[in-house]
Structure 1
Amino acid sequence: MIRDHSDNLFEQCAWFYAICREYLFRDHTAEITEALFPEDGPLSGTYVLEVGCGPGFYSRRLAQRYPTIRTMGIDMSARLLEWAKVRASNLRLQNCSFREGDAQALPELNAPVDAVICSRLLLIVPDREAVLAEVFRILRPGGRCFFAEPTSAFKTRIPLLGMHLAANIISRSGRWSGKPHKAEVLCHKAFCDLIHTQPWKSVSIQSTTGYQYAVCQKPYAEEDLTLEGVCERVEEHTLKNWSVA
């Protein structure tokens, strides 16, 4: 079924947001790899999902850095996904894919998800708790997720304002009124409260200039007493020792 997202700002001005993501926003690849993967890197076949991927920045970055893993980006904007697919194709990434989907109601996937990335997503979605619930649901037992959210309301609104101005210029009516109308930055308490709406096994929350981060791990299934499950438990100390430079 083809969905109409013509009133979505990220669909109308996909090119503007893609440029911002590629060249202006902070790159958290180092923090993501340190938080989600063991010291020796991800295991072969690790499945990473980027929720609200936009132009697929982290899906492409991780697929390029770790050729033996699989990454998938999910977003509602068909135009941003097209940008992501073209970039991945130009890089000849066979282990990177993209599909349309809503972060508040993620589609079923054909394999367990080992790790999830959500960057600059919670400030624009209508139902943040639904996003947290979906991330928790789709992760395999013991899987980890990484959230990165900006803390500067002023800096966050600049790209959105630019997109609105561009949309007004290209709109036939001269005034575009689609969504989102604004980006709502979470204060630290609201961010912590939101993260803890799910029954994580462990949570590490850090703040730096301009951003706040959360790394969460889903509890293991009670029946997971295999050697692999035990080994994964041993790796849990990486969450406790994780920090942002």
Structure 2
Amino acid sequence: MRHIANRDQDQAWNGYEGTFWAANQDRWDGVNGGFDEPLLAAAAITGGDRVLDIGCGAGRTTRLAARRAGAGRALGLDLSAPMLGRARESARSEGIGNVTFEQADIQVHPFGTGTFDVAISRFGVMFFADPVAAFANIGRALRPGGRIAFVCTARADRNEWLQAIRGLGDLLPVDGLGTSANPGMFSLADPETVRDVLSRAGYEAIGTTPVEAYGTWGRDASDAAAFLLDSGPGRHLLSRAGEDDRARARQRLVDLLRPHEREGALQLRSAALLVTARRPG
């Protein structure tokens, strides 16, 4: 039986949210793929490395890491069974043999001590119920001197998708979006919070660098608005509004996104922190 500490997130990612992400993984990779190269460059994966991908979702970054590891290997861990199913299917279709995936709560998963050389994550570390405990557990899984590199959501005012959603404030209850509540998408948005958490979890040489990338959210404003409002957070907001306000919110979001259409795609800027640290030793 899996040991789960973060039961709310386990329920979400094995319910609608996980199913939606798994079904739309190509689109999510289009949204977040601009952060892949900065993340992997910071991780400095070399041939023979043992790589842990934290909150790997449908496994795009795990597979990229496995290719860089060569004779090494990559393990992707996530709570979401639907997304892991998609990850395994993609690895098989791409013929990547040095990658595996496991369903687990990283905060309490019984890793072997010193099992990995490097840990990575693309937007998979903001939802821990106890982030200090989770990062300490990851640290124990790293060899002495092992490193971690991850990207986490930052700067609410620089994330254009969030600014568009906030433009619906008179129609939908958007006040809680973009706050630093833990667990939550912006729980590690403040560099000082990141440094405090990682320091308390036992890491050293902690670095935080702001990074931004444009992602493709849809073919046009209408397509992107539907995608945003059908995602877990959008669906939750719509469920708390009346029918007339829901219809008005959908149309207004299309109007707010229209200026971001370019060359047959709807592109929005996302802001993140690129974080690096090392286990002592």
Q: Same fold (TM over 0.5)?
A: yes
Aligned partner of residue 49 in structure 1, secondary structure: strand
Matched, 1:217 2:221: no
> 8 Å contact 2:145–2:280 — kept in the other structure?
yes
* Distance in 1 (alpha carbons) for counterparts of 2:147 and 2:70: 20
Matched positions, count: 196
2-side partners of 1:27 and 1:150: how far apart?
A: 13
Amino acid at match of 1:216: A
Cα RMSD, aligned residues only:
2.9
One-letter amino acid of the structure 1 residue matched with residue 276 of structure 2: V
Per-residue Cα deviation, 1:93-130 (whole angstroms, up to 9, x for no partner): 11010011112112324972100012213322221111
| Partner residue in 2 for 1:35 | 42
Identity of aligned residues (%): 22
Q: Which amino acid aligns with 1:22?
A: D
Give the conservation status (yes or no) of the 8 Å contact 1:157–1:183: no
Which one of the candidate residues 163, 182, 185 is aligned to 1:183?
Answer: 185
Counterpart position of 2:61: 58
3-state DSSP class of the match of 2:200? coil
SS of the counterpart of 1:21? helix
SS for the counterpart of 1:68 is: coil
Letter in 2 for 1:183: M
> Could you tell me which amino acid in structure 2 is paired with residue 36 of structure 1?
A
Where does residue 28 of structure 2 map in the other structure? 21
How far off its partner does 1:8 sit?
1.8
1:176-232 CA deviation, whole Å, 9 max, x = no partner? xxxx99534432322222222233342222112411121111122xxxxxxxxxxxx
Distance 1:190 1:138 in 2: 22
Give the aligned partner of residue 154 of structure 2.
151
- In structure 2, how many angstroms separate the alpha carbons of the residues matched to 1:129 and 1:216? 14
The alpha-carbon distance between structure 1 residues 65 and 139, as it changes in their structure 2 partners (threshold 3 A), is closer
2:14 is paired with a residue whose SS is: helix
Of 72-81 and 105-114, more deviation after overlay is shown by 105-114
SS state of the match for residue 87, structure 1? Answer: helix
Is 1:94 the counterpart of 2:155 in the alignment?
A: no
Distance 2:80 2:28 in 1: 14
Is the CA contact 2:54–2:120 (under 8 Å) kept in the aligned structure 1?
A: yes
User: Does the alignment pair 1:85 with 2:88?
Assistant: yes
Secondary structure of the corresponding residue to residue 208 of structure 1: strand
Deviations 1:38-76 (A, max 9, x none): xxx6132x1000011111121111223443220000111
The CA distance in 1 between the partners of 2:277 and 2:153, in whole Å, is: 18
Distance 1:47 1:108 in 2: 13
Residue 179 (structure 2) pairs with residue 118 (structure 1) = no
Unpaired stretches in structure 1, ≥5 consecutive residues: 162-179, 221-245
The answer (yes or no) to whether the contact 2:204–2:278 under 8 Å persists in 1 is yes
Alpha carbons 1:156, 1:183 under 8 Å: kept: no
Given the alignment of the two structures, is residue 76 of structure 1 paired with residue 75 of structure 2, yes or no? no
Asked if the contact 1:48–1:72 (Cα under 8 Å) also holds between the matched residues in 2, the reply is yes
How far apart are the structure 2 equivalents of 1:137 and 1:111?
6
Partner SS, residue 54 of structure 1: coil
- Unaligned regions of 5+ residues in structure 2, if any? 166-181, 213-270
Q: Match of 1:77, as an amino acid?
A: S
More displaced 10-residue stretch of structure 1: 125-134 or 115-124: 115-124
- The letter for the 2-side match of 1:43 is G
Q: Aligned partners of 1:156, 1:197: CA distance in 2, in Å? A: 32
**CA apart distance, 1:87:** 0.6
The letter for the 2-side match of 1:187 is D
More helix by share: 2
Query: Is the alpha carbon distance of 1:181 and 1:66 closer, same or farther for their aligned partners in structure 2, counting shifts above 3 Å?
Result: closer
